[in-house]
C-alpha cells in the first residue's frame, strides 16, 4: 500500500493520509473523480464497496468517502473529500462517478435523498429510492429534528407507555420484592 500512496502523491495533492483502521486518503473535491479513475484504471481498485457521507454541520461541510477494493491486491482504500454543505432546500453538489462503477448510481441516489447531495448527470438521481413522497429536509442531515418530525407526523396511541431506558433495565435486571413474576 505504501507504494500505491507514493504513486498517487506523484500525480495528486493529498491533504491527509491515515492508516489507522484501514488506509484513507483525502483529496480536493476537484481531483476526486480523476483520482478514482486513476485508482481503478492504473492501481487496480476495480470494486466500489460503498460511497457514504458524514455531515460536519459545525464546519459547514459534508465528507464523502469512497471505499474501494482491489481484488488482485486483496486490500481496500478509502478516498475522502469534503464538499460545501448547502442550506436546505439548496443542494450540495459533487461530480458523479457512475461512469466508473454502475453501482455508484445507487449510492449517489441514496446520498441525494438522505443528505441532499446532488450528483449532476447521474442516472435516476431524482427518482425516489427509499423515501417516496418525502417533502421535508433530508433525514440524515444533522439539522433534521427527528423528535419534532415524529411528534408532528405520528399521533400518540392509547396504551403506549414510555420508559426511561436506565430505569427499565434496572427493573428488568433487579426486580423489586413482591413484583417478581407479576
181 located within any domain = no
How far apart (Å, rounded) are the C-alpha atoms in residues 96 and 122? 6
* Per-residue pLDDT tens over the stretch 107-139: 999 999 999 999 999 999 999 899 888 888 999
Residue 163 has a pLDDT of 73
Report how many domains make up the chain.
1
- The model's pLDDT over 13-64, given as tens digits with 9 standing for 90+, comes to 999 999 888 899 999 999 999 999 999 999 999 999 999 999 999 999 999 9
CATH code assigned at 110: 3.30.460.80
Residue 164 domain-assigned (yes or no): no
Q: Is residue 165 part of a domain?
A: no
**What are the b/e assignments for 22-47, b being 16+ CB within 10 Å?**
ebbbbbeeebbbebbebbbeebbbee
Q: Is residue 174 part of a domain?
A: no
Note whether residue 19 is domain-resident.
yes
Q: Give a yes or no: residue 91 inside a domain.
A: yes
Amino acid at each position: 500500500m505504501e507504494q500505491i500512496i507514493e504513486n498517487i502523491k506523484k500525480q495528486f495533492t493529498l491533504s491527509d493520509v491515515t492508516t489507522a483502521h484501514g488506509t484513507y486518503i483525502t483529496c480536493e473535491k476537484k481531483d476526486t473523480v480523476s483520482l478514482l479513475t486513476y485508482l481503478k484504471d492504473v492501481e487496480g481498485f476495480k470494486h466500489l464497496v460503498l460511497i457514504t457521507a458524514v455531515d460536519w454541520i459545525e464546519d459547514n461541510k459534508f465528507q464523502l468517502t469512497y471505499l474501494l477494493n482491489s481484488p488482485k491486491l486483496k486490500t481496500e482504500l478509502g478516498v475522502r473529500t469534503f464538499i460545501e454543505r448547502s442550506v436546505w432546500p439548496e443542494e450540495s453538489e459533487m461530480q458523479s462517478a457512475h461512469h466508473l462503477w454502475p453501482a455508484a448510481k445507487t449510492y449517489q441516489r441514496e446520498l441525494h435523498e438522505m443528505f441532499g447531495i446532488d450528483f449532476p448527470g447521474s442516472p435516476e438521481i431524482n427518482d425516489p429510492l427509499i423515501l417516496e413522497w418525502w417533502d421535508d429536509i433530508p433525514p440524515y442531515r444533522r439539522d433534521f429534528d427527528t423528535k419534532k418530525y415524529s411528534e408532528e407526523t405520528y399521533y400518540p396511541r392509547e396504551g403506549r407507555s414510555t420508559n426511561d431506558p436506565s430505569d427499565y433495565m434496572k427493573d428488568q435486571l433487579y426486580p423489586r420484592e413482591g413484583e417478581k413474576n407479576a
